Amino acid sequence: MSELRQDRTTGARVIVAPERGHRPRQPAAPAPSPAPGFDPACPFCPGNEGELPGIIAEAPSAAAPGWRVRVVPNKHPALRPLPPEEAAPADATLPGHGFHEVVIESPRHDAALADLSDGEIATVLSVYHDRFVALAGRPRIRAVVLFRNHGAAAGASLAHPHAQLLALPTMPPGVQSQIDWAERRFRERGNCPVCDELARERDDARRIVEERRHFAALVPFAATCPFETWLVPKRHQASFAEIDADELAELGPFLRDALRRLRRVLGEVPYNFFVDPLGPAETGQPHLHWRLRILPGLVRPGGFELATGLAINPSRPEEDAEALRGADGGS
């Protein structure tokens, strides 16, 4: 039987309708061919630096000469930094001031986050955090979005492993509504909604996938798609900018292992992940609590979802979590 569930951390509602998972479908697209270790046409591969618009930062490799992670400006940015006089709003149009960066996660064209070593994935997460903090500190920036598209069907235009950061001059309306919801819940109950939800999930245990010292992985009660997974810090912290060194060191391998579990259960599927997009004004707030959300691309939104903003999940979160718990997240 279908259910209308509410995400108690954002107020959003989701239709959980497992019977829709049995509808006839077109055959799945074949898995992509393995990528080569080096692609001479790829601008992110070593030796092709002339194709880059510049280099913002690099993390050196500990095992060999050269870089392990590199940050570059997006060659086709959605937003660009503008002088203050050009960034003032005019009527309903806000000039496109902002920053758009790419984090190249490995020199290897065929690297996957799920296959990186502890040291490699730790470096990737450290660079994510450094750039998130740096962009949040820029003048006239209201929100920073850290996201990753894996696979062409998930929006990746290049196969070389990379993530992106977009720093915006305004808070996206959908995110603002979630912030407002969390603030109302905090005023009503006196507790952080995510802290409350994490405690509830740990007591229930059916949707918990794995726990470590600093983080829990779970399939949320109101998952918007099959196998949606949240990585939630156990310590209250409003923004990704507030993570400490021990938590950051744990998060890298924890994220990698969560992606391995998904791959072992689902095969090689496209996915997106993102960190809750908050800005400098949200740091330290008692009603906010960031998460890293992984959304496998098993279903696409249709006309109903686009018309209403209401997701239909054809999979039961409790069963998805059980399948992920049964999959080994190790190497």
Which tens digit of pLDDT belongs to each residue from 153-202? 999 999 999 999 999 999 999 999 999 999 999 999 999 999 999 999 99
**How does residue 28 score in pLDDT terms, banded at 50, 70 and 90?**
very low
Phi-psi region of 140 (alpha: psi -120 to 50; beta: other; left: phi over 0): left
The verdict on residue 294 lying in a domain is: yes
3-state DSSP: the chain helix, strand, coil percent, rounded to 5? 35, 20, 45
pLDDT at 95: 76
Q: Which residue has the higher pLDDT, 276 or 15?
A: 15
The verdict on residue 135 lying in a domain is: yes
The verdict on residue 53 lying in a domain is: yes
For position 294, which CATH number holds? 3.30.428.10
Range of the domain at 280: 9-18+40-75+96-325
Over the stretch 229-259, which tens digit does the pLDDT of each residue have? 999 999 999 999 999 999 999 999 999 999 9
Pairing of strands 208-211, 162-168: unpaired
pLDDT at 82: 84
The verdict on residue 272 lying in a domain is: yes
The verdict on residue 29 lying in a domain is: no
pLDDT at 86: 59
User: CB–CB of 152/127 below 8 Å?
Assistant: no
Q: Which of 3-12, 33-42, 182-191, 260-269 has the lowest mean pLDDT?
A: 33-42
The verdict on residue 23 lying in a domain is: no
Angle at 263 between CA 259 and CA 267, to 5 degrees: 155
| 27 has pLDDT over 90 | no
| 330 has pLDDT over 80 | no
The verdict on residue 150 lying in a domain is: yes
The verdict on residue 304 lying in a domain is: yes
| 35 has pLDDT over 90 | no
Beta-sheet strands, E only, within the chain: 3-6, 13-16, 57-60, 67-73, 99-104, 143-150, 162-168, 208-211, 215-218, 229-233, 271-275, 292-296, 311-313
CB-based contacts of 163, cutoff 8 Å, min separation 6 = 102, 103, 105, 124, 128, 146, 147, 148
The average confidence (pLDDT) of the chain is: 91
Rounded average pLDDT over 303-331: 92
Q: Is 162 one of the annotated active-site residues of the chain? A: yes
pLDDT at 21: 58
Q: In 3D, which of 297, 148, 294 has the Cα closest to residue 229?
A: 294
Residue of 162, 214, 287, 289 marked catalytic: 162
Over the stretch 98-142, which tens digit does the pLDDT of each residue have? 999 999 999 999 999 999 999 999 999 999 999 999 999 998 999
Chain centroid to CA 145 = 9
- Domain count across the chain: 1
pLDDT at 23: 43
